[in-house]
Chain A
Amino acid sequence: MKNAKYLAILLAGILLLSACGPKTTPVPVVTLPPATIPPTAEPTTIPPTAEPITLVYWSMWNADEPMGVVMQQAITAFETANPNVTVEVTWQGRNVRKIFTAAIDSGTVIDLIDNDTARIALTWGDKYVLGLDSYLGQPAIGVTGKTVSETIFPALINQYKTAGGNIASVPYNPYINLWFYNKAHFEAAGITTVPTTFDEWMTANAALKAAGHGSVFTYDPDSYTDVMVGDSVQRYVGCDAFKTALADKTGEAWNSAGLVTWAEDMQALSVYAAQGTSANVYPAGQQAFALGDVTMTFNGTWLPSEVAETAGSDFPWGTFSWPAVTNGVGTVNDYDMGAQGMAITQASAHPDVAIEFIKYVVSLDIQTAVAATGYASALVDVPWIGPITEAYTLMKNATSAFGWACEGWNTGDFFGNDVLPAFTDLITGKITAEAFTAQLVAKAKTNIP
């Protein structure tokens, strides 16, 4: 009897809510194109061994997301070509970076691991992964006449080396961090060229505000504050000076001219932050952009794929690089880029077999499948499609790259605990530039690494 009462009340409440909301015509659901491409080149066939070989692969992807689907394709094709090899994959998701080293230390058998190339080389390093330099000179699969390293964007291959000077992973899914903007908003505001300097940017922002797009930019503070910091500060003082400032225990570095200008410019920019930006919980910020509520957001080239469903197939995508400043160290052609790469663990019993799988992942077929999902491919010859086409040209022509958030994340507690929260307040207009600088100076003195 009582149970019926509970059920009744719950049902009543639910029915009540379902009755709310106006009825409109259904919105068409956008689906991604399937990533099946007829193969042009098979993976290397490994000579059959006496015993079947198992490669244990801990993937940073989830099985159901586009990159996961592509990896599964690669696995299936590889296993078909090599019947005595099994690739045992665990779809760990992004969490893998947290559990990898502990697992290796406890003796877990893992052969293949993928993650950000910076993390693999700098955080994990020679203790956990093999140096792959010797393998990169082997012929590439699907592209005749070139070695593996020759088919991949040069800026990526040599971007990170371990402490021992080794290349720790093969990049297979690059990204560039850029300002994504809504071309329709720009047109409506009469902006015809993308801003390349801070002053041009502020003019454009003012025009957008005047045209009624008051919420000019937004982002997700819990995920991307660090790149906002790194990319902006690189234009003003460069990454090295920034890292020096982070390590300065007196805090006086924050009072230097370049960093003070940086803070002041960010305060000027904060006028255009959308209301509620600091409260965004990922992916609320990028969703707001995809819904057309906000004109710009700073993100990586994976963004169009992540918000494909909300944005729809006819979203007016545009990108531009973080604008430069007069007397600044960085230029508009310095790109914050990186890649997800695949590595072989130090303890792997089958490195020669594992590298064949990696070579297949960066083969023409698989990389074409990657590009077809809307993500960025690692091969120079495979263009990026859709919204990130412009970024592909940037990547091809890139000569100078710097790392995620100037590798601030690799410098200790101060960056994450003090700089990032203060910057969020600054860029969302909660504190002034003076307060920001003063805060950092004070916290630098009290912070214990």
Chain B
Amino acid sequence: MKTNKKMIIAFLAPAVIAYMFVSIYPVIHSTILSFFEVSAWSGSEMKFVGLGNFADLLQNSVFIRSFGKIGIVWLLGGVGVFGSAFVFSALLTSGIKGKSFFRAVIYLPNLIPVVAAAAMWTQYIFSMRFGLFKNVFGALGLQSLANIEWTSHSVIFWAMLIAFVWGGIGFFLLIILAGVERIPVELMEAAKLDGATMIQVFTRITLPLLRDVIRVAVVMWSITVLNLFSFPMAFGQTYPEVMTPAMYLYQLAFGQAGGGAAGAGANGVVYVGRAAAAGVILTGIVVLIYGLLNVVFKEEKLEY
């Protein structure tokens, strides 16, 4: 409609410039930095090391272990989040009353600030003294469950995972629910009349029709998981068991790497270049996942 170039530029330019400033420029600069050893934020000490940073990272057991953690979060956490989202979708669409109320209640945990949520979970819910889990499990007679030391170093990863999944379900429920509600009811009814069981309806009708939605959701989940930083930080930053790649990256960048998860005794040396390299690796994985998902879930125009 409009062909007035000046207008177009005037309308678009500010946003494009602003966006370039915080997205494109940093990506380029970061990539360049990743090939240097940068031991001061002022940029005054830069030494070209080629792929040295990448080699160091890929041989560092802390970094590698952190990916293992993230993998578990992605897989098991993903199952928890998506599984719950599907279950809740089914429950919400089964014709109960108060659907929007329950939908709002399920989403609510997503809005609780990370710091507040972490404090609530670690200082109250998981407490071995007066915690909710201990009291409830104890009241139900499930003593072995009541005795789980959630915040000990060996279990705290799972404790964090539970809290993280709890907070994340709401968002993905909304996405899945939106997709499910677009499926015409007649399709489901027709299938049930033909004698299909709930599981068959789910696997043969619901899932395929939700392909696009699931694809987008999985990409979003992957990005969230790969960037996982604030939750582990708030939960137990002194425990190496919750170290994620993003946390390690942060430690590298701010001179706290090499002294356990708390970085308590880190030699204070800043590894900006290596941190940038870690960022490149993380972004690369995001791109990889996106590409893989595009292949696995080929985009199709769905007609109802």
Interface SS of chain A: helix
A222 touching B238 by the CB < 8 A rule? yes
- Whether A123 touches B268, Cβ cut-off 8 Å, given contacts A106-B41, A106-B42, is yes
- Whether A449 touches B258, Cβ cut-off 8 Å, given contacts A409-B265, A421-B240, is yes
Partner of B259, one of A101, A221, A409: A409
A284 touching B265 by the CB < 8 A rule? no
Q: Name which of A25-33, A152-160, A299-307, A411-419 contacts chain B.
A: A411-419
A105 touching B40 by the CB < 8 A rule? yes
Say whether A5 faces chain B, with CB atoms less than 8 Å apart: yes
B241 touching A416 by the CB < 8 A rule? no
Partner of A410, one of B122, B152, B238, B259: B259
Contacts of A6 in B (CB 8 A): 101, 104
A344 to B130, CA, bound (A): 45
- Whether A276 touches B255, Cβ cut-off 8 Å, given contacts A6-B101, A105-B40, A446-B61, is no
Contacts of B264 in A (CB 8 A): 226, 409, 416
Query: In chain B between 231 and 248, which residues have their CB closer than 8 angstroms to a CB of chain A?
Result: 236, 238-241
B129 touching A101 by the CB < 8 A rule? no
B149 touching A279 by the CB < 8 A rule? yes
A223 to chain B, nearest CB (A): 7
Contacts of A281 in B (CB 8 A): 122-123, 126-127, 151, 236
Contacts of A448 in B (CB 8 A): 59-61
A447 touching B61 by the CB < 8 A rule? yes
A425 touching B238 by the CB < 8 A rule? no
Contacts of A446 in B (CB 8 A): 61
Partner of B261, one of A275, A408, A417: A417
Contacts of A221 in B (CB 8 A): 152-153
Contact size class for B? 35 or more
A109 to B173, CA, bound (A): 48
Partner of B100, one of A2, A275, A276, A409: A2
Say whether A38 faces chain B, with CB atoms less than 8 Å apart: no
Query: In chain A between 274 and 294, which residues have their CB closer than 8 angstroms to a CB of chain B?
Result: 275-276, 278-281, 284, 288
Interface SS of chain B: loop
Contacts of B241 in A (CB 8 A): 421
Query: In chain B between 129 and 181, which residues have their CB closer than 8 angstroms to a CB of chain A?
Result: 129, 149-155
Say whether B263 faces chain A, with CB atoms less than 8 Å apart: yes
Say whether A114 faces chain B, with CB atoms less than 8 Å apart: no
A411 to B253, CA, bound (A): 19
Say whether A420 faces chain B, with CB atoms less than 8 Å apart: yes
Contacts of B52 in A (CB 8 A): none
Say whether A107 faces chain B, with CB atoms less than 8 Å apart: yes
A412 touching B258 by the CB < 8 A rule? yes
A62 to chain B, nearest CB (A): 16
Say whether A336 faces chain B, with CB atoms less than 8 Å apart: no
B236 touching A222 by the CB < 8 A rule? yes
Query: In chain A between 2 and 28, which residues have their CB closer than 8 angstroms to a CB of chain B?
Result: 2, 5-6
Contacts of B266 in A (CB 8 A): 123
B129 touching A276 by the CB < 8 A rule? yes
A123 touching B265 by the CB < 8 A rule? yes
A107 to B40, CA, bound (A): 10
A123 to B254, CA, bound (A): 13
Contacts of A278 in B (CB 8 A): 149, 152-154
A5 to B126, CA, bound (A): 30
Partner of A102, one of B59, B101, B255, B261: B255
A215-255 CB contact bits vs B (8 Å, 1 = yes)? 00000011100100000000000000000000000000000
Partner of A413, one of B41, B154, B258: B258
Closest A residue by C-beta to B261: A416
A425 touching B154 by the CB < 8 A rule? yes
A276 touching B149 by the CB < 8 A rule? yes
Query: In chain B between 1 and 52, which residues have their CB closer than 8 angstroms to a CB of chain A?
Result: 40-42
A101 to B264, CA, bound (A): 14
Say whether A50 faces chain B, with CB atoms less than 8 Å apart: no
Partner of A222, one of B60, B100, B239: B239
With A279-B128, A280-B151 given, name 11 new contacts (CB 8 A): A102-B255, A105-B270, A221-B153, A407-B265, A408-B265, A409-B265, A412-B259, A416-B260, A416-B264, A420-B260, A448-B59
Chain B residues near A (Cβ < 8 Å): 40-42, 59-62, 100-101, 104, 122-123, 126-129, 149-155, 236, 238-241, 253-256, 258-268, 270
20 contacts between A and B (CB under 8 A): A98-B256, A99-B254, A101-B270, A102-B254, A105-B41, A105-B42, A106-B41, A123-B267, A123-B268, A222-B153, A276-B149, A278-B153, A281-B122, A407-B265, A413-B61, A413-B259, A415-B259, A415-B265, A416-B261, A424-B153
